[in-house]
Amino acid sequence: MAGKIVLVSDDNDFFEYTRQKLELRKSDELFTFSFDSIPEKLQFVETAVLIINSENRQDKTIDLLKLLRGTPAIVFSYNEDDVFRRKCYRVGMFDYMTILTPDAEFRARMIPALTVASILEKNKQYRDILVGDNYITPNNEVFLNYNYILDKELEDINNGKKNAVFAAVAPNDKTKFLLTANMIETAILNNIRRNDILMSYAANKYFVLMYDTNIKAAQALWEQIGNKLPQKIYAGFVNVSNQKRQQLINEALNQLHSAINNDKTSPATSQISGLDSYNNFKLFRQEFGKKFEQIITPVFYQIQQKYSQAFAGISIQQQANDGLGAFYIKGKTASSSFRITSPGFSKINIDITYQKNSSNIDAKRITLEPEEFEAGLLEDLLEQFILEYKRGLDNDNS
C-alpha cells in the first residue's frame, strides 16, 4: 500500500492509534489535520484517502463528507451506529470501519480507496496539462474543445467499456442573457459526479456526458440543478449507443429544442406538418417558405452581426432567398460555407464545407425533418460552424 493518506480528527491520540494500524511504507505520505483546518487544505486533500475520526464529531463528519463528495473518505467510528452509517453513505462516504475492525482487514480495505485516490491524482495532473493547452477552463472543469473530448470518450463507450447519457443544455432565447456562464457551470458542477464531463458548446450552452446512469435519473438530476438557478434552463437527453459524434450532437440538440418548444411557459412555435396535412401542395410550399423567411433571415443577420468583427482579416457574408440560405466565412487561407436547401420540401439539408485549397476540402451534411428546423437549433449549428472554422484556423497557424 503506497499513497497519500490524511487523518482528520480533533483528538491527537487518534493519529498515533491509526498510524500503527496502517503499517506505512517509506513511500507512503501521512498527514494529520483537525476538522477546522481542512477547508484551507481542500486542494491538497481532494486526491488523498481521508480517514475521519467521527467520535463526538458526527455533524462535522457529515459536513466534511458533503464538502469532499467524490474523495475516498473512510469514516472511523467507535461503535456500530447504523443510522449514522447510512447518513454517511448517503453523502458520499467510501467505507466505514470501527475499533472492532481487525488490523489486517483495515489495511485490505484501504487498498481500493488508495486506488481511487491514485486515479484522482492522475486526473488532476491531466487537468493541469489541459488547462495549459486551453482545453479546459482553469477555475473549474469545463472542457472547451468538446469535439476532442467526445471523440475520445465515444471510443470507449461504443466499444462497450462504458455506458453514458449525453445532454445538451441551454436557457431559452428570452432568459439566456439573464444567466451568466459561471452561474450555470457552478450549478452543474456542484451536482454531477467527478467522472462526468461538462463541455462548453456556445455562449451559455453546454454538453454534459454522464456515466453509469439512464435518462430518467438524468432528468431527475436536472430538475434538482434547475431549482438552484434563478431562470429556467433546459436539457435534451440521449442514451449514447454506437453514435458518431455529430449524430450524437444533433440528436441531443433536437431533444433540447423540443424541451424548450414544448414548455408550457414558453411561447409555442408554429411547426410545419407533413404533406398529408395539406390538400394543396402550393399552400404547403407557401407555408414552408414563410418559415424559412421567419427563421433563416433573422438568425443569419444576428450571427453575422455578432461575429463580423470577431476575426481579423476574415469576412462573413450571408444570403437567404426562396428555398435557399447560405452563410459564408472567407479568409486569406481558408473559407467555409453553410448552405441550407430543401429538395422537394420534404427534408432540410445543411451542407457544411471547409476549404483550404482546391484539393483540400472537408464536407459534411446534416439532414433534418421540417418540424425539427427552428431558430434555436439553427443558431446552435451556426455557432458550432463558426467555432469549428476558428479551430481550423488556429490549428493551421500553430
Please indicate, yes or no, whether residues 253 and 237 belong to a single structural domain of this protein. yes
User: Whole-angstrom Cα distance, residue 330 to residue 315?
Assistant: 5
In a domain, 270, yes or no: no
Please indicate, yes or no, whether residues 323 and 207 belong to a single structural domain of this protein. no
User: Whole-angstrom Cα distance, residue 280 to residue 382?
Assistant: 33
Please indicate, yes or no, whether residues 189 and 207 belong to a single structural domain of this protein. yes
335 close to 315: Cβ distance less than 8 angstroms: no
3-state secondary structure at position 273? coil
3-state secondary structure at position 31? strand
Show which of 223, 239, 262 is a domain's final residue.
Answer: 262
206 close to 150: Cβ distance less than 8 angstroms: no
Please indicate, yes or no, whether residues 242 and 151 belong to a single structural domain of this protein. yes
In a domain, 353, yes or no: yes
Please indicate, yes or no, whether residues 146 and 41 belong to a single structural domain of this protein. no
Please indicate, yes or no, whether residues 167 and 213 belong to a single structural domain of this protein. yes
DSSP state of 136: B
User: Whole-angstrom Cα distance, residue 335 to residue 361?
Assistant: 10
User: Whole-angstrom Cα distance, residue 396 to residue 398?
Assistant: 6
Show which of 130, 150, 169 is a domain's final residue.
Answer: 130
Torsion of CA 122, 128, 129, 130, to 10 degrees: 110
Q: Which of 284, 230, 235, 269 is nearest to 255 (CA)?
A: 235
Please indicate, yes or no, whether residues 235 and 300 belong to a single structural domain of this protein. no
DSSP state of 394: H
Count up the domains in the chain and report the number. Answer: 3
Please indicate, yes or no, whether residues 111 and 206 belong to a single structural domain of this protein. no
288 close to 387: Cβ distance less than 8 angstroms: no
In a domain, 76, yes or no: yes
Per-residue confidence of the chain (398 residues) as pLDDT tens digits?
A: 458 899 999 988 999 899 888 888 777 889 999 998 887 777 778 889 999 999 888 999 999 998 887 889 999 998 888 999 999 998 889 999 998 899 999 999 999 999 888 888 888 787 777 666 656 666 657 877 788 888 888 888 888 777 899 999 988 766 666 676 678 888 888 888 878 889 888 777 889 999 988 898 888 888 888 888 888 889 999 999 888 888 898 889 888 888 887 774 433 333 434 444 444 556 666 666 776 677 888 888 888 888 877 777 788 888 877 667 889 998 888 889 999 887 766 678 888 888 876 666 777 888 877 777 777 788 888 888 888 888 777 766 65
User: Whole-angstrom Cα distance, residue 24 to residue 3?
Assistant: 9
The total number of residues written for the chain in this structure: 398
Please indicate, yes or no, whether residues 140 and 255 belong to a single structural domain of this protein. yes
Q: Which of 381, 350, 385, 353 is nearest to 366 (CA)?
A: 350
In a domain, 299, yes or no: yes
Expressed as residue numbers, the domain containing 49 is 4-130
List phi, psi (to 5°) of 326.
Answer: -140, 140
**pTM for this model (two decimals):** 0.44
List phi, psi (to 5°) of 276.
Answer: -65, -20
Q: Which of 249, 142, 147, 123 is nearest to 203 (CA)?
A: 142
In a domain, 120, yes or no: yes
In a domain, 268, yes or no: no
In a domain, 247, yes or no: yes
List phi, psi (to 5°) of 247.
Answer: -65, -45
175 close to 232: Cβ distance less than 8 angstroms: yes
Please indicate, yes or no, whether residues 11 and 111 belong to a single structural domain of this protein. yes
3-state secondary structure at position 3? coil
In a domain, 53, yes or no: yes
User: Whole-angstrom Cα distance, residue 55 to residue 67?
Assistant: 19
3-state secondary structure at position 195? coil
Please indicate, yes or no, whether residues 295 and 390 belong to a single structural domain of this protein. yes
